[in-house]
Structure 1
Amino acid sequence: MTRILVISDIHANLTALQAVLDAAANVDATWCLGDLVGYGPDPNECVELVRSIQNLTCLIGNHDAAAIGSIDTMFFNREARLSAQWVKSRISKENILFLKSLPERVVIGEATLVHGSPRNPVWEYLLDIQAAAINSSYFKTQLCFVGHTHVPVVYTVDELGGGTMRKLDHKEIVPLKQRLIINPGSVGQPRDRDKRASYAIYNPEQKTWEAYRIDYDISSVQQRIVTAKLPLRHAQRLAEGW
């Protein structure tokens, strides 16, 4: 039975990433849906740890693209823009090359992988049923895995504009019997009022998706954010999950 770790939105939070990798050590492959950097204090460390993962498939997110200068940060909020500038001043040449090598979209078996949406893989947020339904015509596989919103959620979709949206709880198992768009949530900056790191396990043979949360030492990450003189908002939100 193949077990695939699906993660997204690490956001330079090494402590959260290590907690997830330790909790999900017994997997056959790892799929990362982007945003390795941004907001957090550990951009180089997180990219280097992701680079070391065996059987890795990794996509580029909007904060990764900002770090390598391939997109303009004018549409970022002030704190995110400051963080992106900080990352650009510190990211190593080796990690820049890695981020530049990342694709925007990958199709593996029955799954299409993107960071934002199949229509706009880097930028678009899938926040409601209408957006999910519109995007259902932009991928051909049964499943589409997305990140970007930092919320673990599953959409049932159809091209007529119908469907459902449901937030996923810890240890919830989703049968993959229909056309779905699924988000594993955020490793490094959850935004669903649950401060625990979020990840998922995809079982392609059993056709299941397992949602998980894991505690980690938030205070140590907050201290590193303060020490790095990054915006305090990035530290405050970690303890509240927003």
Structure 2
Amino acid sequence: MKYLILSDIHSNIQALNKVVDNEKYDRIIFLGDIIGYGADPFLCYKKFLELGGESAMGNHEYGVLNPLSLMNFSENARLGVLHTIKNLPEEYVNHMRNLPEYIQLDDCIFCHSMLDQPLDFSYVFPEDKDSIFLLASYRRMSELGAKIMFTGHTHKPCIFKMTGNEGVEIYPSKDGDIYLDDKLYIINVGSVGQSRNSIPKAHYAVYDTDERKVSFKSVDYNIREAAGRIEEEGLPELLAKRLYLGI
């Protein structure tokens, strides 16, 4: 089985289309934040549903459903969610209500953020190997019988490997393959629609369960068009500029 794993699309239909057209896979799983920030939430959610509609709940979906949570958002993020609310039909919002906190398939878990309290949407960045949220996620993985968790949220791809006695090793990810041993892994696949690792591309991962191989990948997409759409919709200029910079 080859899983195509996508996170943080953020209403960037240009990036989403390019990734899906670029890959061969058996099943596609989203890790949340299909919407928010970008110009085209309707087109992205429509495409997501056409691709099977399997996703964990992201904090931007949660913001659409629970507007009080927008108090914890930055101004740019809040404006992106409000733009989404104006542009999504009721049937899409109703589908969004049923997104799970996480998806478990055999020994794999797919979750937007950390696993212990998924709807708290805690941030664990690549340098945070001693994070209490990371260690709590490993403990929850063990309880669920999972060996690997795929996550997003920070927009920064990386690999966390549990080495024993709650020791964690961190590996920065570059495009390429890694083969997993019998340790526990938490793997951030990065962002399709709004990269923040200074590489302005669409980032994602493919997991081959037969080979236990994770392939980190990225593709160029039409940033000019995506940024232009943000400007057309009257969203903050920064949201367009950062696509060119990958920050």
Which of 166, 171, 177 in structure 2 is aligned with 1:173?
177
User: What does residue 137 of structure 1 align with?
Assistant: 139
CA RMSD, 1 decimal:
1.4
List structure 1 segments (4+ residues) > 3 angstroms apart after TM superposition: 158-161
Q: What is the CA-CA distance between 1:69 and the residue it aligns to? A: 2.7
| Aligned residue identity for 1:73 | L
Contact (CA 8 Å) 1:147, 1:183: kept in 2 or not? Answer: yes
Q: How does 1:102-181 map to 2 (within 5 A)?
A: 102-122=99-119, 123-127=121-125, 128-131=128-131, 132-140=134-142, 141-157=146-162, 160-170=165-175, 172-177=176-181, 178-181=183-186
Contact (CA 8 Å) 2:115, 2:136: kept in 1 or not? Answer: no
Which of 71, 74, 87 in structure 2 is aligned with 1:74?
71
Percent pairwise identity:
29
User: What does residue 96 of structure 1 align with?
Assistant: 93
CA distance in structure 2 between the aligned counterparts of 1:120 and 1:173, rounded to whole angstroms: 30
User: What does residue 36 of structure 2 align with?
Assistant: 38
Q: What is the CA-CA distance between 1:227 and the residue it aligns to? A: 0.6
Structure 1: unaligned runs, 5 residues or longer: none
Q: What is the CA-CA distance between 1:158 and the residue it aligns to? A: 5.1
Which of 200, 209, 214 in structure 2 is aligned with 1:209?
214
User: What does residue 8 of structure 1 align with?
Assistant: 7
If the length of structure 2 is used for normalisation, what is the TM-score?
Answer: 0.92
CA distance in structure 2 between the aligned counterparts of 1:102 and 1:133, rounded to whole angstroms: 25
Q: What is the CA-CA distance between 1:160 and the residue it aligns to? A: 3.6
Q: Which moved more, 1:77-86 or 1:158-167?
A: 158-167
CA distance in structure 1 between the aligned counterparts of 2:68 and 2:117, rounded to whole angstroms: 14
CA distance in structure 2 between the aligned counterparts of 1:113 and 1:159, rounded to whole angstroms: 22
Structure 2: unaligned runs, 5 residues or longer: none
Q: Is 1:18–2:22 an aligned residue pair?
A: no
| Bigger helix share | 2
Q: What is the CA-CA distance between 1:161 and the residue it aligns to? A: 3.8
Aligned length: 238
Q: How does 1:217-232 map to 2 (within 5 A)?
A: 217-232=222-237
Residues 206, 155 of structure 1: CA spacing in aligned structure 2 closer, same or farther, 3 A cutoff?
Answer: same
